Amino acid sequence: MNLFTERVIRIIQGIPAGHVMTYGQVAAAAGSPRGARQVVRVLHSMSKKYGLPWHRIINAQGAISLTNGDQRELLEMEGIIFKENGKIDLTIYRWFPIDIDEG
């Protein structure tokens, strides 16, 4: 597994309940600011194996990308409140991890 993938996994595992990060934010924190699509790949292929809280990753506009309702339901169960437009207020719920190399 390459270093970027390892970092993405650690970052996503570290997002506490009731908070979210964007795909691009995870990519930047893992060392590849333009790697949002790679974050999608990691989520798709490794969420089950590593028990990743995949539902805590949303797009940069504060919207969920899946349309089946599971992601929204999981986030609401963690206390996240959606605005009338169906988006999450990133000023309230966005998580900023500590430097992943420090712990």
Domain span at residue 32? 3-92
Q: Domain total for the chain? A: 1
In a domain? residue 98:
no
In a domain? residue 100:
no
In a domain? residue 29:
yes
- pLDDT 10s digit of each residue in the chain, 103 long? 899 999 999 999 999 999 999 999 999 999 999 999 999 999 999 999 999 999 999 999 999 987 777 999 999 999 999 999 999 999 999 999 876 554 4
Task: Locate 81 and state its tokens.
Answer: 């409140």
CATH code where residue 84 lies = 1.10.10.10
In a domain? residue 71:
yes
Show Cβ contacts of residue 83 under 8 Å, excluding neighbours closer than 6 positions. 62, 89
What was the pLDDT predicted at 102?
47
What was the pLDDT predicted at 100?
56
- In a 10 Å sphere around its CB, with 0-12 CB exposed, 13-18 middle and 19+ buried, how is residue 39 labelled? buried
Q: What angle do CA 92, 96, 3 make, to 5 degrees?
A: 145
How far is it, in rounded angstroms, from Cα 54 to Cα 99? 20
What was the pLDDT predicted at 103?
45
